[in-house]
Amino acid sequence: MPKPYAPIGGQAVIEGVMMRSPHRIATAVRLPDGTIQVQSRDYVSLSRRFPLLGLPILRGAIVLVESLRIGVAALAFSADAAVAGESERPKGERRYGTLGLGMGLTVLISFILGIGIFFWLPLKLTDLTGVRDPFFYNLIDGGIRLVFFLVYILSIGLWGEMKRVFQYHGAEHKTIHNLESGEELTPEFADAQSRFHPRCGTSFLFLVVIVSFVVFAFFGRPDTLVDRLIRFALIPVIAGISFEIIRFAGAHYDKPWVRWMSEPGLQLQRLTTREPSRDMLEVAIAALRAVL
């Protein structure tokens, strides 16, 4: 049994959960007939295979890229399962359509749009204010980025189908808490756990926004194209720093001051998680068992 705060994480997918341990990945999906389908495989991160890539901060950037690729594969698997089940329903009752088609291209476009919306657009809007002082320029830029992030979180919550994904997100967190508590992995024990977790991706993205302000403040006001390109080049560094903070918080969450610092991210998880049902917890447990 892994020790508390073991490096096991996951992701909610369509009607299921993906779990990842240091040596294995598994995705469990609830099929329309009520059974649980599990896809698992061995996986060792580049940061573990190549010691240089496992250095602090650098490993965070590696994990971010790997997590994106693994997450896309898990979403594609769950979408295929959902579409297979939907094809058996009358057309008017189908919920997921063809989510499995073009998943990689969709995520790539979304990633590019995300860079544009959360990093390029705030710069352009801050330029319009006419502020010249470097500190206040970066403060406004960071404030706009934070507002965009909050609007994004609130907006995706308005999509009706996201409610079930958010429930599976809650199931993922509760199941990992169940593991870390040392209790037997059961829906009953998992249900008693919190749906908020300090190593959640929501907390990570919130940290990226905060850390980006601190890092960019050291580079002053970006007056030239080169200055702005440097900012974009620093995104992996910002992700790496944020990863180290999240990793530290997960390992030392028993300390009161760490809990206090983690609280803003945990509160944001109220928007991205929902209380799961027992059958959702069963799916999350199936995924977790497959990676242990």
Give the pLDDT score at 112: 82
**Above 70 in pLDDT, residue 88?**
no
What average pLDDT does the segment 270-279 reach? 95
In degrees and rounded to multiples of 5, residue 162 shows phi and psi of -70, -20
Query: pLDDT of 53-79, one tens digit each?
Result: 999 999 999 988 898 889 988 988 998
Whole-number average pLDDT of the chain? 88
The per-residue pLDDT for 145 is: 94
* Residue 108: predicted pLDDT: 72
Residue 123: pLDDT band by 50, 70, 90 thresholds?
A: very high
pLDDT per residue as tens digits for the range 197-225: 999 999 999 999 999 999 999 999 999 99
pLDDT exceeds cutoff 50 at 98: no
Token output for 153 = 């979180």
Whether residue 83 is predicted with pLDDT greater than 80 in this model: the reply is no
Least confident of 15-29, 31-45, 105-119, 245-259: 105-119
Task: Check residue 94 and give its pLDDT.
Answer: 45
CA distance 20 to 8: 6
Q: Taking residues 132-151, what's their average pLDDT?
A: 94
Q: For residue 283, is pLDDT > 70?
A: yes
Q: How far apart are CA 276 and CA 215, in angstroms?
A: 37
Q: Tell me the one-letter amino acid at 131.
A: V
DSSP states of 93-125 as a string? G-SSTTTTTTHHHHHHHHHHHHHIIIIIHHHHH
Nearest to 140 by CA among 221, 237, 236: 221
Q: How many Å apart are CA 156 and CA 113, to the nearest integer?
A: 15
pLDDT at position 225 is 92
- Examine the pLDDT at 132 and tell me if it is beyond 70: yes
pLDDT of residue 135: 93
pLDDT at 271 over 90: yes
CB atoms within 10 A of CB 82: 24
Region 145-164 average pLDDT:
89
Whether pLDDT at 95 is above 60: no
Residue 30 has pLDDT above 50, yes or no: yes
Q: Is the pTM of this model over 0.95?
A: no
Q: What pLDDT is recorded for position 262?
A: 94
